[in-house]
Amino acid sequence: MVTIGVEEEYLLLDSVTGLPTAECPRVRPVASALPGVAAGEVGPELLKAQIEISTPVCDTVDEVGSQLCRLRAAVRTAARKVGCDVAATGAAPTRGDAVVPVSDGARYAAMRSRARVLVDEQLITGMHVHVGVPDRECAVAVVTRLRPWLPVLAAMGANSPLWDGRDTGYASWRTLHFGRWPVSGPPPAFADAAAYERRVRSLLRAGVIADRRQLYWHARPSERYPTVEVRVLDVQPSPCDAVLYVGLIRALVVRALHDARDGVPPPVDAPELLAANTWWAARYGLTGTLYDPRGGRQREAGAVVGELVERVAPALAEAGDRATVERGVERLLRIGTPAERQRAVFEDHGMPGVLKMITCDW
């Protein structure tokens, strides 16, 4: 069985104002001390108003869902003990004027010194899916083959339409926001692992990134684990939303591994096309059309999602995930993306309704 794991980032919000609050240094130790929470499963992020959880390595999507429920409950319990809320949304819907301090450590301090406004505004949170691969060569081959489908995943998982108390007009403002970093967005195509290493070393040698952790591509070989890490998704409202993508991404990775093994040439989509498709996905989510990587043209968004599921159907069946993913896709197309749901609540109930939704709908 191809293993899977998930990292999720959340925002910590003041329970009264709904503004980001720098309480991670208090919430994290409380969560980590709760029964059943292992060392390293709850950690800090760049800003003290963010907190991250990491599941153990799992074999099934049901196991991932259970682990997410367990760790979300721990962080939520800890936050309530401290006196704040935890929000599962891709971007802080309202920020206020105060600057949230960076978490402790020389690396975070150096990042703020180098990119102050970017760091100060990094009140965005994502979901990172890790899928086990045999070796580095396979990881690089998979990343290259995932490229055309990453915008489709971004559209499906869009969950950040609000920023500074207003509707941005985008389904995933986080995608645009994160794209301001120098090495971000769709990954390049790599001929092999040696080519990947040469290009990363050239970035480091040029001094445009401080370390390998600043390779913010939407998919990359993990530097810590024997996995491919897919980072394109906004954090999801609930484990029910999240497990859809865990199954779908694992199936995409398995399909890519099979294609690489069988000598199927990787796709040759131009960088500017992938960048434009990513912008389009972040702007519209699933409310209009999407670029279909198979046909090379715009199609109704639901049809493109269907093409994606069809592409990976054998891998889904092999893992026992087909029913879970098909139910998840049916639900997504029926009730809309998390961004559509947030926007509807904002229109009907304003910011109080949104804050209630993103802190309670877990």
Look at residue 240 and give its three-state secondary structure.
helix
Q: Give the largest CA-CA distance in the chain.
A: 57
Please state the rounded mean pLDDT for residues 119-131.
98
Please state the rounded mean pLDDT for residues 40-58.
98
| The pLDDT of residue 361 | 58
133 CB-side CA count, 13 A: 35
Spatial contact of 201 and 298, defined as CB atoms under 8 Å apart: no
The CATH number linked to 312 is: 3.30.590.20
Q: Is the pLDDT of residue 55 over 80?
A: yes
pLDDT in tens, 319-332: 999 999 999 999 99
For residue 1, what pLDDT band results from cuts at 50, 70 and 90?
confident
Which range marks the domain in which residue 152 is found? 4-360
pLDDT in tens, 149-194: 999 999 999 999 999 999 999 999 999 999 999 999 999 999 999 9
CA distance 233 to 89: 11
Whole-number Cα distances in Å, 262 to 25, 137, 258, 273, 287 = 49, 15, 6, 26, 36
Q: Which two tokens stand for residue 33?
A: 């001390």
The per-residue b/e assignment along 142-176, b for 16 or more CB within 10 angstroms, e otherwise, is bbbbbbbbbbbbbbbbbbbbbbeeeebebbbbbbb
- Residue position matching structure tokens 């999240």: 242
H helices of the chain, in order, are: 24-32, 61-82, 106-114, 116-120, 136-146, 150-156, 173-178, 193-206, 239-261, 271-284, 301-311, 313-319, 322-335, 338-360
| The pLDDT of residue 362 | 65
CA distance 188 to 16: 44
Domain count along the chain:
1
- Residue position matching structure tokens 């670029």: 291
Q: What is the mean pLDDT of the chain?
A: 97
